[in-house]
Structure 1
């Protein structure tokens, strides 16, 4: 079976929760799954003052580790319609992997959160996907085989480009059951694809 990395950055815990659901879906295929987080770049005192969630269980990832995985699913919150600066700073360190073609042919995916329904989810997903395509990765999104993203009964995240959630402008909304189901579905599809290619 394949080896999958769920790599995420989360300021307030919403993406952390989504990452756990993505990993759950990937594990359901028999894949070996690790959850690692992107290092925080905000000074400790600033992060504390902003009430960042600093007690996250996942170990901090290192760029060199990315080459050890068959699939990498990247989660990041949206910042003004693009990826968070912490995520960008981390991926910007992958030039050596890019030069060696170390990620070519591996499977990739993206998931995100925004404060509002129309806060740039799809642009953020494409920001991540653009990085992954430059690395030569094969992209798996969240197709409409996950019908939950089409519901009109409640406000939900979800996009054919990746799983999403809506956090609220004050972070007051946690990922819904449908959002988490979408994350699990995407994790499962990414791992299934990697299992076919590398299993």
Structure 2
């Protein structure tokens, strides 16, 4: 059984909910899912004043633990069209893994949340995927086998580069069933791909 890490950062819970759906998909695809979050780096007063919510899962012990997994699905909210500083700070500590080639051949994928439909979902996904590609990982996107991302009959996330959700300007919109289904689909594809590569 492949072990897939769902690694995320979430300020208000949207990315955390998507992480749980990704993990459901990983299990559906025959893998073992482990959910961890990266450390909060915002000053406590800033986090409190902004209304940040505590993340529901355990914190990852450190970058070296990434090497224990067959696949890593990385999720971050969008900050000005890129991943959050918390997630970037974590990946900035992975130079040792890069030097050893510790993640080469492992499977990677990305997911995100934005306030608006055009708030930088695809650029945020690419800011995550760039790190995974530099690590030599095999990237899995949200392919169009998941046709829930098609159509314009409702507001919904989803991109060929990864699973996404739209939170609304005040954060009141929670991930829809279509968006959660996309996250589950992505998790399943990551688990299935990792199983093929480790066979």
- The answer to whether the superposition gives a TM-score over 0.5 is yes
- Determine the structure 1 residue equivalent to 2:87: 87
Alignment-derived partner of residue 59 in structure 2: 60
SS of 1:124's equivalent in the other structure is helix
Show structure 1 runs of 4+ deviating over 4 A: none
Deviations along 1:39-72, one digit per CA (max 9) or x if unpaired, are 0001222211111011x22111121110000000
Cα distance in 1, alignment partners of residues 49 and 13 from structure 2: 16
Could you tell me which residue of structure 2 aligns to residue 125 of structure 1?
125
- Distance in 2, matches of 1:33 and 1:181, equals 17
Instruction: Spell out, residue by residue over 1:61-87, the C-alpha distance to the aligned partner (whole angstroms, 9 max, x if none).
Output: 121110000000000001000110001
Provide the residue aligned with 1:195 in structure 2: 195
Match of 1:43 in 2: 43
Per the alignment, in what secondary structure is the counterpart of residue 6 of structure 2?
Answer: strand
Judge which range, 122-131 or 41-50, deviates more: 41-50
CA displacement at 1:170 relative to structure 2: 1.0
Structure 2: gaps of 5 or more residues: none
Residue 29 of structure 1 and its aligned partner are, at CA, apart by 1.8
Cα distance, 1:151 vs. partner? Answer: 2.4
1:146-175 CA distance string (max 9 Å, x none): 000002220000001000000111111100
The size of the alignment, in residue pairs, is: 198
Q: Structure 1: 5+ residue runs without aligned partners? A: none
The residue number in structure 2 matching 1:135 is: 135
Which residue is equivalent to 2:162? Answer: 162
CA RMSD, aligned part only? 0.8
State the TM-score, normalizing by the size of structure 2: 0.98
Normalization by structure 1: what TM-score? 0.98
How many angstroms does 1:191 deviate by?
0.6
Q: Aligned with 2:94: secondary structure?
A: helix
| 1:105, distance to aligned residue in structure 2 (A) | 0.4
* 1:114 aligned residue: 114
